[in-house]
Structure 1
């Protein structure tokens, strides 16, 4: 079932398409055939600017978790054989310090509606009962609504499609590797080993997603991952982790 057939979501999809189309028209004298792609970049940057306070909150929470690591380790040593008590004491410590073990997920969760809406805009051939004009726009000759899996399934894969999508996926993957090397998360002694491993691979999941979503959504992911790395490097200097 397509959720965007529901009246509220259908209206949201129509409004988002109209807004993106208006921005594309505004940027057309500057970018020409790449106006819609530039509009996606502008929307991405606007979303990230709005989320700067969330990023600051994330940096503060990461700093706090690193500072609490010895106390968390002590709790684990004391209550490790009583999981219920360990969980209560851990959450009490986080609560007293005004943070949460899930605080680092806020930027990702906050962006989910934006990338989901972009995905929907470039996935629907018709919006509001009319043909979606945004699907006629391209990035370096590749339609913004094309995805790698779609091109492979329809036999429309060409060198331009592979080059554009491959470049976007490579950017996301390279930034993920840089993030893993430069911004190792503060360790949580109470976190199970499988969770630590999952956090380490989570960055690369975005690269996999970028290979399957429309080019417009992959462009959003590439821009937002680069922004995230730059922002976190700056905030790490402002809120350094204790040694």
Structure 2
């Protein structure tokens, strides 16, 4: 943890001439960008996998028609198809999974008052009027939703909401372009009810970021906001 704290502090020192008192916040944004650059090859692979899975949908629809009444056989057939075509259904999860350590490091770094037995000096840094170690509840208690710190969170919420709406619309378009066949031989395919429910929920998943930003330390919230915005731009470019 102390090594990571030293890294953030060094980045903040480098950026101080440009960003002044908000250098630590800028360092977190830069750190997030570096992490996203590192996982970009995985994001490109995930995009290729998504396109490959979309191309498999007609074949999967045929399998559902053929084995719709036998869920176990259908599942085996779908797995065999993915194996044959060398398409991993989990490839899209890898970019997010590889980012989790960075997020949790920031979360713990700005949640602890001491690091290595010494006071955590990073907690003294702010993004304008909002301390990087505080949460939205602290901002509300300090000056209300429209107080100095509250306005910082309001700006973050607006940005996250805009990105969420963008992702919502893009996800709806992608799902409309690649619908999942709901029936087989005139009968409902077993398991399709749960899949249909998930399909309805997926476009709204981006809005959960608003909750995350509200409850984690501001430093971790900055990571989430930066990464989410990066993802929206990246996916728009890769999934054209």
Give me the TM-score of the superposition, normalised by structure 2. 0.87
| 1:181-201 CA-partner distances (Å, limit 9, x unpaired) | 134355454671122133222
Instruction: Kindly indicate whether the alpha-carbon contact (under 8 Å) linking 1:31 and 1:38 is maintained by their aligned counterparts in 2.
Output: yes
SS in 2 for 1:162: helix
Match of 1:4 in 2: none
Question: 1:173–1:102: structure 2 CA closer, same or farther, 3 Å change rule?
Answer: farther
Match of 2:41 in 1: 53
| 1:112-158 CA-partner distances (Å, limit 9, x unpaired) | 11111111111111111111000000001110111113445xx3344
Match of 1:156 in 2: 142
| 1:10-68 CA-partner distances (Å, limit 9, x unpaired) | xxx12111111111112112211001001001101101111110110111011011111
Match of 1:127 in 2: 115
1:48-197 matched pairs, under 5 angstroms:
48-152=36-140, 155-158=141-144, 159-183=147-171, 184-185=174-175, 186-189=178-181, 192-197=195-200
Aligned CA-pair RMSD: 1.7
Match of 2:3 in 1: 15
Q: CA deviation at 1:205?
A: 1.3
Aligned length in residues: 223
**1:222 is the counterpart of 2:210:** no
Give me the TM-score of the superposition, normalised by structure 1. 0.86
Q: Which runs of 5+ in 2 are unaligned?
A: 182-191
Q: Which runs of 5+ in 1 are unaligned?
A: 1-12, 238-243
Instruction: Kindly indicate whether the alpha-carbon contact (under 8 Å) linking 2:103 and 2:223 is maintained by their aligned counterparts in 1.
Output: yes
